[in-house]
Amino acid sequence: MNKVRRLWGFLSSITVGILYNFSFEEPIDWKKTYIICPNHISNLDITAMSLLVKNNFCFMGKEELMDEFVTGIFFRSVDIPVNRESKMSSFRAFKQTAERLTNGTTVIIFPEGKIPDEYPPQLHEFKNGPFRLAIELKIPIIPVTSLNTWQKLWDTGLEYGSKPGICNIFVHRPIETANLTLDDADALRDKVFGIIKQKFEA
């Protein structure tokens, strides 16, 4: 399914003239398992992450994505839907996510939880879940800054349309969590937020 997703993302993007350029702070060892934490400013971010990650992966995302045609295929099969308004749904989703990570699957979580409503988009506060999970399981986090996908396609593209071009994605070095405790979760969240914010607003 990941191969299908990468192929679909590549073909659908290139058909409309959208390409992706990935810059790395340092090389990523894709033999390891990670939690990928990108900012979220466009539906193109989903394709970008699918093309970026080179090992087995899944997304954790809002359950409304199950209602869309393409994302629904994957959220009913390999991805993890969550209703963040429901504590029980969140508990089940994070339990399932922990199982995937333990079994060696990299998980992509947009810590803002949604695409911001304002245009141009601003970085919004991050949820704590991914960072507590990373510390509990001793999984490194990779912050990723989506720099300009919103300029090619904001949200779903219904309001401002789309245009061809190159989407620039910056992949920061992994942050190790092996020596952290749950008391450090807020500090880890703020650190990742600061890293992405500095790059996004540069």
3-state secondary structure 13-49: HHHCCEEEEEEECCCCCCCCCCEEEECCCECHHHHHH
Q: What is the mean pLDDT of the chain?
A: 91
* Residue 120 preceded by cis peptide, ω within 30: yes
Give me the percent of the chain exceeding a pLDDT of 90: 66
CA–CA dist 69, 72 (Å, integer): 5
The reported pLDDT for the residue numbered 144 is 98
Helix (H, G, I), strand (E, B) or coil at 154: coil
Task: Indicate the pTM of the whole model.
Answer: 0.92
Is residue 65's pLDDT more than 70?
no
Is residue 199's pLDDT more than 70?
yes
**DSSP 8-state secondary structure symbol assigned to residue 56:** S
Q: Which CATH number fits domain 2-200: 3.90.1150.10, 3.40.720.10, 1.50.10.10, 3.40.1130.10?
A: 3.40.1130.10
Higher local confidence (pLDDT), 66 or 43: 43
pLDDT digits (tens, 9 = 90+) for 25-53: 999 999 999 999 999 999 899 999 999 99
pLDDT digits (tens, 9 = 90+) for 96-148: 999 999 999 999 999 998 888 888 889 999 999 999 999 999 999 999 999 99
The reported pLDDT for the residue numbered 30 is 97
